[in-house]
Amino acid sequence: MFCRTSNLMSPIVYTIMKKKSSDWYVPPELGLFLVIPIIVILAGMLLPLLARFKSGDIVGIYYAAIGGGAVGAVLLFFARLPLYRQRRFWTFGPGHLSGIHRKIYWLAYMLIAVSGLLLLLIWLRFR
């Protein structure tokens, strides 16, 4: 009788133990509600920074460009770390990277490009 009771409970226990991932469904339209605040926050940070060009206070822009470039370089290192572990140092592009590393790779290059653009604008301002 004890074995029969444990046999009746085993499908329930099996179902509970088997379920490791969630069954949540998030519609893609909900992502729009996350993207719009991010754009607003970034615009609120970058527009006053660009307004400093007019006033001549370039030091803050210079530090932002150097900081963004440094963060981009560190992110690029971490994005390419799986390739470095495979001893593949001379591969170009994100083609050999996995999904999350590919996103970090593009984010790093975006930060490096923005910092390069800010440094170019500073150079043009003092030229």
At 72 the pLDDT is 93
The reply to whether the predicted model has a pTM over 0.75 is no
The answer to the question of residue 66 being in a domain is: yes
The answer to the question of residue 2 being in a domain is: no
The answer to the question of residue 55 being in a domain is: yes
Angstrom distance (rounded) from CA 70 to CA 89: 20
Residue 29 per-residue DSSP state: T
Angstrom distance (rounded) from CA 50 to CA 61: 8
- Boundaries of domain holding 106: 15-126
Closest alpha carbon to 123 in 27, 58, 42, 37: 58
The answer to the question of residue 28 being in a domain is: yes
The answer to the question of residue 7 being in a domain is: no
Domain count, the chain: 1
- List the pLDDT tens digit at each of the 127 positions of the chain: 455 454 555 555 555 555 556 666 667 777 777 778 888 888 887 788 777 777 777 888 888 899 999 999 999 998 888 888 888 888 877 877 888 888 889 999 999 999 999 899 889 888 8
The answer to the question of residue 1 being in a domain is: no
By the 8 A CB rule, do 66 and 47 touch?
no
Q: What is the dihedral of CA 108, 112, 114, 115, to 10 degrees?
A: 140
